[in-house]
Amino acid sequence: MPSLEESRFQRATRRAGAWLIANDNWMTVAAAALFAAFILTGMTTSSIGMAWFSENPSDPDITQIGMPQWIRSDEYNVNSPLWMSMMTTGGPPTLSPLGAPADIAHRFSSGGFFETIVFFPTALLWMTSFLPDTMVFSLVWWLPMIFLVFSLPFWVERMGGTRRMGWLATLLIAFSPSVAWWSLGPVGVLAYAVAGSLALAIAAELFISRRFVRAGIVMVVAGILLASIPTVYAPWSIILGVPVLLATVLRIVATKTTWPQRIVPIAVSGSIALILAAGVFLENREGLESMVGTVYPGSRRSGSLAQSFAMLFGAPGYDALSRHDPIVSNASELSASFTVCVFWAAILIVAYRNFGRVRDNLPLIVLGAWTLTWLGWCTVSTGALGERIPVLNLVPPYRAAQVIGILAIIVVALILSKAPLRRDYTAAIVSAVTVGFVTAYAVSLFREEAAPTMQSWQILAAAGGAAIAVFFVTLFPRKLWPVLLAGVLALLPVVRSQPILFGLGEFRSSDVARTLQDLGAESRADGTYWATDAPGFESLMLANGVPSLSGFQRSGPDVAQWERLDPDHEFEFAWNRGGGYIPFVFAPGEELEITTSGFDTTWVRIDPCDLKERFPELGHIASAEAIDSSCLVDAGTANWSGRTVYLYETP
């Protein structure tokens, strides 16, 4: 018997080993284990671990590796505290009532039927009722990357590529500088479009094979995921989401089967997606109308405009953004993906020549044409003429420049999947030399334009790394080790760009955070609000579910609420803004004044007693300075950001 049991074990082991090796399944398993470790340890790359967000910045209770990035202010001031607010309240975040509903701006649900389905990632935040906050936050943080990793290789395979080249695309996209410096933002746009398109392709396969029940279930999943395309950040969604879906639809239509078998999965999934998206827009029409009517950002239209060659093609050298503060703009705005892949793709097309029938290459044609269109949008200036081109004018050229390289990566992956069996040394050498030279020139320009302290060895290292990756992947497109090598080399420019944070820092662990959770629960129950002028304290209040008049106006203004402050619209230019911040300044005895930075910040300077008169539901004030006012009652102090915050009740 032992020998029989041993032989069974050996057979099972061999089968498992064969499965892991086949189609690089071990990479899927390794990725699953990696994400599980991230989530179980509460690991993210959030910058909420800044010492500023602690009671004692000289000795913060924060566990992290590396340095938080000050430039990611929307992430650590708003996005992450907003998620924590939802975890605290078990419902919508406690954003300022001065702002119109911001559900669609931040993709969270306030209980609407359609938005709860479409915005399911943030709905997962309510799992804190039975799971630790740190694990739930980490899960939602990594969810876009999880969808990308577990869908893109298989989607590339169904678009006529190979799964191995799909892994190449996944690694290069995941490690793109614009993904790192925008807190995974581009992946959040791309991942659900790819996952939905993959589900659509699978649904078509099931429908064609007459497995109708399974096909129907997958069609529903596809519809839910594809509804993200019109409900995420529009400029990036147009560039990344739309071509992925279009390529998938054309791939299905080109299938050799009956027309009903081709059309039904597309029609059903598309109808579900459109119904869900329309439902989300209807549920959020108030916020959308407010957003469109703002002075900033408003309904902006853009023409094409030539972007810096350094920005477009210098991504392999963006380690400099971690080592040197740029002298122009900032790291997030300067970051891009590996747009240099455009040159690589062009050389491969000339080298390979024979790609087979057009119908078999429709995804490649669509993605290639889309890439060239948007590359033209950020390399050729058209001025006012471009502002009149529908769809294109919705995308600022600098936003296109940040993500167009992601499409170029996918195009390269599809082309390499069609590489001839023979090793093409000429293609490998020409590709490597070209990419290396373009990278060296772009990074050199980047030093001149933005990072003058950058060293020459960094330029050579960036160009050399890019050339090495391109050479070996082109020479051995069917081997796995060049893919892994390219992934490692792509990681190097961003490995130091973001911190590795474990937990939620002092947004949860500090005494003041625990106190605010209790006070916030009382205020929510009483229907009262707080207001503060203390920098950094507003984010702490939001994270712990404290309702506040000051704080954040993310979609646009609630005009009726602002009229309680400014009934004659004297200061409308200052408060009619979205995507921004509403800090208060308490000035006893002074007249109301509302001013703006000209972009996304609106300051409300007001006497606390005047504020209480206009908003009787005001219950507390938290101030960075002691206030002597007849309408305030001392309620103690708190420590935050190394400063004393004075708390007052407004009876």
Average pLDDT rounded to a whole number, residues 107-111: 94
The answer for residues whose C-beta is within 8 angstroms of residue 217's C-beta and 6 or more apart is none
Tokens of 524: 């929510």
Q: Residue 119: how many CB atoms within 10 A of its CB?
A: 22
Which of 514, 517, 614, 521 lies closest to 562 in space, CA to CA?
614
b/e per residue 257-279 (b: at least 16 CB within 10 A): eeeeebebbbebbbebbeebbeb
pLDDT range class, residue 4, cuts 50, 70, 90: low
pLDDT range class, residue 216, cuts 50, 70, 90: very high
Average pLDDT rounded to a whole number, residues 298-306: 86
Tokens of 274: 């459109």
Helix and strand numbers, DSSP H then E, in the chain: 32, 12
Query: Identity (one letter) of the amino acid at 144?
Result: P
> Given this model, what pLDDT does residue 549 score?
97
- The model's pLDDT over 178-204, given as tens digits with 9 standing for 90+, comes to 999 999 999 999 999 999 999 999 999
Give the containing element (helix H, strand E) for 64.
strand 63-65
Distance CA 161, CA 152 (A): 11
Secondary structure class of 390 (helix, strand, coil): coil
Average pLDDT rounded to a whole number, residues 151-178: 98
Residues in the chain: 651
> Given this model, what pLDDT does residue 586 score?
97
Query: Identity (one letter) of the amino acid at 325?
Result: D
- The model's pLDDT over 599-636, given as tens digits with 9 standing for 90+, comes to 889 999 999 999 999 999 999 999 999 999 999 999 99
pLDDT of 177 above 70: yes
Q: Which of 174-183, 318-327, 468-477 has the lowest mean pLDDT?
A: 318-327
Radius of gyration of the chain (CA): 26
pLDDT range class, residue 316, cuts 50, 70, 90: very high
pLDDT range class, residue 308, cuts 50, 70, 90: very high
Strands 633-640 and 643-649: antiparallel
- The model's pLDDT over 481-536, given as tens digits with 9 standing for 90+, comes to 999 999 999 999 999 999 999 999 999 999 999 999 999 999 999 999 999 999 89
Give the containing element (helix H, strand E) for 352.
helix 341-352
Locate tokens 């939620």: which residue? Answer: 504
Tokens of 514: 């625990």
pLDDT range class, residue 1, cuts 50, 70, 90: very low
The answer for residues whose C-beta is within 8 angstroms of residue 187's C-beta and 6 or more apart is 144, 145, 148, 173, 174, 179
Tokens of 139: 């899960």
Distance CA 34, CA 512 (A): 34
- List C-alpha distances in Å: 632 to 96, 440, 549, 649: 21, 62, 17, 6
Average pLDDT rounded to a whole number, residues 578-605: 93
> Given this model, what pLDDT does residue 3 score?
60
pLDDT range class, residue 426, cuts 50, 70, 90: very high
pLDDT of 2 above 60: no
The partner residues of 43 in beta bridges, in order of sequence, read 502
Q: Which of 221-230, 378-387, 425-434 has the lowest mean pLDDT?
A: 378-387
> Given this model, what pLDDT does residue 418 score?
96
Tokens of 124: 């997962």
Helix-strand-coil split of the chain, %, nearest 5: 60, 10, 30
Strands 529-532 and 618-623: parallel
Please answer whether residues 246 and 66 qualify as being in contact, where contact means their C-beta atoms are separated by less than 8 angstroms: no
Distance CA 606, CA 608 (A): 6
